[in-house]
Structure 1
Amino acid sequence: MAPKKTPKGKSGFFGVRQKPSGNWGVEFSDAGRRWWIGTYPSAHEAACAYDVAVWRAGRPRVHLNFPEIESRVETEMLVPQGIKMKEITTKKKTTKKPSVVVNADETDEEAMARFAREHPVYVQAELEHYWKREAEQKKKEDEAGPSTVIPIESSSEEDWADFSEEEEEEGCDDPEKDEFWEQFRSSDDEE
């Protein structure tokens, strides 16, 4: 049987195109999604793989390369290595946010107010972004719980007296150290 003529490609089969390596690649589209079927050594085998994908998707027989084949099982037998459908993801087109143009006769605030009037969708989206970010930050803080603060009790003079007595008991004979402690005790008394 003669292969179908298609305006695209030189293979003569639906969804089949020759790769630079000489092998034949198969792509399949269904419901706005694109699928990569695989690479095959011959155009005929690649066309059979395309037909398997059409049968699996439940598409009409008019989309088959070989409509005379009666069942999916027969088609799958013609592709000994089978098919592995992998979705081809395409980058979504992002719409560019319009820029704020400040005219010579207006202030920044006036320009922003004009932008908000002309593009309320972008202003709303920006507000929602910051509200969402604020809510996430609050949630993180709530999950972390309150921070624990351990108060430090003020030391009494008795504690300092014990410390200085211990120093003296240890046998510190440094006269400068004794002078320091005397100055330190006298400064506490003045307060």
Structure 2
Amino acid sequence: MTPLPLPLPRVPPPLQRPATDAPPCHRAAEERRAMLGLGTYGTAREAARAYDAAAWRLGRPRGQMNFQDVYTLQQALDVAPPPRLNTAQDRVEHAERQRRLLVAQEDERVMAEWRRRHPKDVAYEQVYWARRREEDM
């Protein structure tokens, strides 16, 4: 007779996840238990308002809300801002930023490999720049 596997401990999911503290164009809110993407907002306050509206819709108790000044679902919906729309221009700018980031990461990787393979050149370069700084003074 084979032993039965032990059941995994039951860990309750976190009750709420507030808005992330990211740059304004990347702030987003999400309701964790239901995995609802609530959109992208300009400020953490707007993202928190959107989170509260979603939490009201899911029947969360008022004590779990970010703002205690809202008493009904309708009030929560009224104060929650609409998510920022991603336009074609936003997507083009994002793709360009991603491309530049990949180029910079590859450049850093190649330079690290060069430094590892050519330590004498690295030492020479450091001496060269030290002399240049002395001459500029």
Q: Same fold (TM over 0.5)?
A: no
Q: Which has the higher contact order (CA 8 A, sep 6+)?
A: 2
Structure ranking higher in helix proportion: 2
With structure 2 as the length reference, what TM-score do the two structures score?
Answer: 0.43
